[in-house]
Amino acid sequence: MRETATILTAVLLLAVLTIASAQTSDPCITTDKRVNLAGDTLLPIEGTLAGRLREDFYRFENLRPGERLVLRVTVTTNTSTGLNTLLMWEIRPSQFTRIGGEQTIQGGGPRNYDYSWVHSNFGENTPTTLCFKIGIFSEARPAKADYVITLGIERYMDAGGREAADKLEKATSLGMLRTGETTIISGYLTNSSEGLDYIDTYVFTAVLGKGKQLTATLSTRPGNIYEFAILDQTGYGLRSNRTNTNGEAAVNLETQDTGEKTYYLRVANQGGVGGGGPYTITLTINEVTTSTTTTATTTPIETTTEITTPSLSRETAQLIVYSTVTGIAVLAVAATIIMRRRSQTVVGEEDQWY
């Protein structure tokens, strides 16, 4: 028995050592070809692979939640050779998972290979690392491949200039919503091929009570299926809806409770299969009469453009617009725009919307 135990221990020890050495020799970890994506300028990277079997590994570090790394590698070969590329994401320290890549035969060129990945906020809002491999394999005779890697960063931030977390306890705060005021926020979800940004959460407080109604509307691209929910402070779903064919969803909430309560908003795209792209949420609390209640609950929104027209909101409601930057911007700084306007004729505003 003792001998068996000793052998088992030795085998286990060997296994542990093998795993440890595999990790420390992983070229995604050991490579000295490192780029800080949060640095100043992303310059093109030039390289050459020459021989029968050659590989280069790059570490692209500090991709922050809400940022998309756009990678193009342009390859020119001197003869027909096997070419492989692989982009991986460090799902946890020293553990990489495949995002994309190709194995092909290339003769001549130049030829472009394009990849991209959006990093998400899984609660801690921490940056991540991507690993990129390019290699050639030419059995018959040595080959040569010249390549240029160009990197770009696009930003897909949610309200407040950050990627909203997928967990309620890490939700982005919208502060307190007040009766008669309108809050507009915008955000972004990725589809399943772009990244893993499938759920955004927000939290706010509000005082409702008799005669008041909270109305939340969401709009996104037609064809997207986004689920939109209001939850109470315990995470219990109070109201939810799903976008219609126009990409719009609305939920209304009334309660007799007059205390200041915490509510969560959750936007989700069914694990990425409900489509991706920007969304806009409009939140209002109104004093309800019978007529406005009926109007608000039975008539769909006509267009989304009315919600976001600045001139409309400037004149009629307090409008808080948190930033969303969706254009290409190489290491751009997130722009946060906060506009506050005095509330005037909010009831008239509501009538125009519905």
> Cβ-count burial of 236 within 10 angstroms (0-12 exposed, 13-18 middle, 19+ buried)?
exposed
Q: Binding to Ca ion (CB under 5 A): which residues in 91-150?
A: none
Strands 172-177 and 199-207: parallel
Q: Which of 303, 302, 304, 313 is nearest to 337 (CA)?
A: 313
Smallest separation, CB 128 to Ca ion (Å)? 15
Q: Which is nearer to Ca ion, 155 or 212 (CB)?
A: 155
CB of 152 to Ca ion, least distance (A): 19
Cβ closer to Ca ion: 187 or 274? 187
67 binds Ca ion (CB under 5 A): no
With CA atoms as reference, report the closest residue to 26 among 111, 96, 114: 96
Q: Closer CB to Ca ion, residue 76 or residue 326?
A: 326
Count residues binding Ca ion (CB under 5 A). Answer: 6
Nearer to Ca ion, 74 or 326 (CB): 326
| Residue closest to Ca ion (Cβ) | 200
Q: Do 65 and 155 form a contact (C-beta atoms < 8 A)?
A: no
Segment interacting with Ca ion, rule: CB under 5 A, options 74-82, 111-119, 151-159, 280-288: 151-159
Angstrom distance (rounded) from CA 60 to CA 268: 29
Q: How far is the CB of 279 from Ca ion (least distance, A)?
A: 9
Residue (147 or 188) nearer to Ca ion, CB: 188
- 55: which strand partners? 135
- Binding to Ca ion (CB under 5 A) within 166-205 occurs at 187-188, 197, 200
Our finding on whether 158 is near Ca ion (CB under 5 A) is yes
- Cβ proximity to Ca ion: between 67 and 248 the closer is 67
Of 197 and 248, nearer to Ca ion (C-beta) is 197
Q: How far is the CB of 199 from Ca ion (least distance, A)?
A: 8
**Interatomic CA distance for residues 315 and 285, integer angstroms:** 18
Following CA atoms 305, 308, 313, 319 in sequence, which dihedral angle do they give, to the nearest 10 degrees? 160
Going edge to edge, which strands form the sheet with 237-242? 172-177, 199-207, 260-268, 227-231, 237-242
Region 247-266 residues binding Ca ion, contact defined as CB under 5 A: none
Query: Please, what is the minimum distance in Å from the beta carbon of residue 40 to Ca ion?
Result: 26
Residue in the block written with tokens 């600045």: 310
For residue 75 the two structure tokens come to 């390859």
The least distance separating Ca ion from the CB of residue 165, rounded to whole angstroms, comes to 9
Rounded alpha-carbon distances, angstroms, from residue 254 to 213, 258, 351: 5, 10, 19
Minimum distance from residue 183 beta carbon to Ca ion (Å): 17
Q: What are phi and psi of 201, to 5 degrees?
A: -125, 145
Q: Indicate whether 56 belongs to the interface with Ca ion (CB under 5 A).
A: no
Q: 163 vs 349, which CB is nearer to Ca ion?
A: 163
Q: Are 281 and 203 in contact (CB under 8 A)?
A: no
Q: Which two tokens stand for residue 210?
A: 């008799």
- Which residues contact Ca ion (rule: CB under 5 A)? 158, 163, 187-188, 197, 200
